[in-house]
Structure 1
Amino acid sequence: MQEQHYKWHSPHLGHEFEMLVYGEEGYPLILFPTSMGRHHEHKDRGLIQALQWFVDNQLIRIYCPDSIDSDSWYNPHISPAQRALNHIRYDNMLRHEVLEKVTMETGVHRVAVAGCSFGGYHAANFAFRYPESVSYLFSLSGVFDLKPRLNGHYDDNVYFHNPVDFMPANPHEALWRMGIILGVAEKDITRSQNETMSGILSGKGIMHWLDVRPNRTHDWPTWLEMLPYYLSLIK
């Protein structure tokens, strides 16, 4: 399986950024790491190996970007307001650097996004903010409400990057054309957040699947089982 290592200076972040890419052809999937994870996490954890059949058969091309969570939502040494501003830099980088690279290389203008745990937050936040650029969202044990991490701070920057808050009023017509799966374990610490998000989508009439896996927990064995099946549903 072909692996390419990308490294460039990001003008939005002001420092170097890294990403691994697997495969030469296929539908592009941007796969976000878990909280404070790096671009090589999915390889290290066996998820890339679990998806190898799709890559070898040129069905999927996987892009694994770094996170900057340790500089944003997971940084306890800066104010919550600054955490949100740092995340906005990351969001702009994803949209204007990563997405543009993916589009240029594949010629596809609506990509798939996925992530596990806090990676599920990144995937959902990106998909819900830019549905015109996302055809499929696969959130595995995702987080959709950041307010518990912000010590009571709340402003517009938090609102527009907190899916449970901005989604009820989100009118973008492309949301109704997106394939959405919210995968979560029966004994998952994020189950209630997934049920809440499912309720928001249902209230808007947005088709999706809340997949609650019985006798599973918030951990890699669950996600290694989920994501290959979800990718098999791409048409």
Structure 2
Amino acid sequence: MEQRSVRLGVPGHDADLEVVRYGHWGRPVLLFPSEAGAARDAEGNGMLDAVRPLVDAGRVSLFCVDSLDGWSWSDTSLPTEERARRAGAYTAWLSEAVLPWVQGESGGSSEVVAVGPSMGAYHAVHLALTRADVVPLAIGLSGNYDPTTWNGWGEVGDATHFANPSAYVAHAGGDHLDWLRARVSILLVVGQGPFEVSPTRSLPATHEFANVLSGKGIRHELDVWGHDSAHDWPWWSRQLAHHLPRFT
């Protein structure tokens, strides 16, 4: 399988982050790791193998990115507002560095699918909602879409609000909401098995966010898997292999 990588700098952070491309052709899929994970986690945890037939057939190219969660959302020594500010630097990096590189690698015209498991689901959905012009589809696997529930503390302000899909979608209106309704689609997938309720809150949080999207008339699907479906890579790989073919 063809593979190449690039390291791109994050403004305000002293390390470059890696983006790894797998494949030679097809619709670009921007794939996030789980919390605090790395670009090569999808390969190491079986997700690449699960969708390899699509990659080998030239139907998709996977663009796997490093997270910056350890410096932002996962650093619970920081108040929520500071964590949100730092997460904003990561979102800006995705928008200003990663997406242009992905589009350049893909011929410049392909619409991107964003995918992620666990905290990666949050990143995928948040990117689609903020950059639906380039990323009109997100697939969130076992996500929680309200960062204020992630061991949050301290006063919150604009940085937290605009990094919180559960909040800013609930308050969306006017032309912007009309644009989201016309442009974006969200697929929310979650299981009912181990660790999907506690401690991750993925199952209730996914239902809650689906209700927010429904209340705003934003196109979405909710796919709830069974009580054997756990919060772990083997199930996320299976779920992505099940859904991705219809979007390529």
- How many residue pairs get aligned? The number is 235
Residue of structure 1 in register with 2:244 after alignment: 231
Give runs of ≥4 in structure 1 deviating > 4 Å: none
Residue of structure 2 in register with 1:169 after alignment: 171
Secondary structure at 1:133 match in 2? coil
TM-score (norm 2): 0.89
Q: Equivalents in 2 of 1:222, 1:127: separation in Å?
A: 23
Q: Do the aligned residues in 2 keep the contact of 1:12 with 1:90 (CA within 8 Å)?
A: no
Write out aligned runs for 1:142-221 (5 A). Answer: 142-148=143-149, 149-170=151-172, 171-187=177-193, 188-189=196-197, 190-215=202-227, 216-221=229-234
Q: Structure 1: where are the runs of 5+ without partners?
A: none
Write out aligned runs for 1:59-98 (5 A). Answer: 59-98=59-98
Q: What is the CA-CA distance between 1:196 and the residue it aligns to?
A: 0.8
- Using a 3 Å threshold, how does the CA distance of structure 1 residues 153 and 172 change in structure 2: closer, same or farther? farther
TM-score (norm 1): 0.94
Name whichever of 21-30 and 107-116 sits farther off.
Answer: 107-116
- Using a 3 Å threshold, how does the CA distance of structure 1 residues 201 and 76 change in structure 2: closer, same or farther? closer
Residue 162 of structure 1 aligns to which amino acid in structure 2? N
Q: Equivalents in 1 of 2:130, 2:155: separation in Å?
A: 21
Q: What is the CA-CA distance between 1:174 and the residue it aligns to?
A: 3.8
Q: Equivalents in 1 of 2:20, 2:12: separation in Å?
A: 19
Residue of structure 2 in register with 1:15 after alignment: 15
Q: Which is richer in strand?
A: 1
Secondary structure at 1:186 match in 2? coil
Q: Equivalents in 2 of 1:146, 1:9: separation in Å?
A: 25
Q: Equivalents in 1 of 2:80, 2:214: separation in Å?
A: 31
Q: Equivalents in 1 of 2:178, 2:96: separation in Å?
A: 20
Residue identity (%): 29
Name whichever of 206-215 and 38-47 sits farther off.
Answer: 206-215
Q: What is the CA-CA distance between 1:143 and the residue it aligns to?
A: 1.2
Write out aligned runs for 1:88-127 (5 A). Answer: 88-106=88-106, 107-108=108-109, 110-127=111-128
Residue 141 of structure 2 aligns to which amino acid in structure 1? L
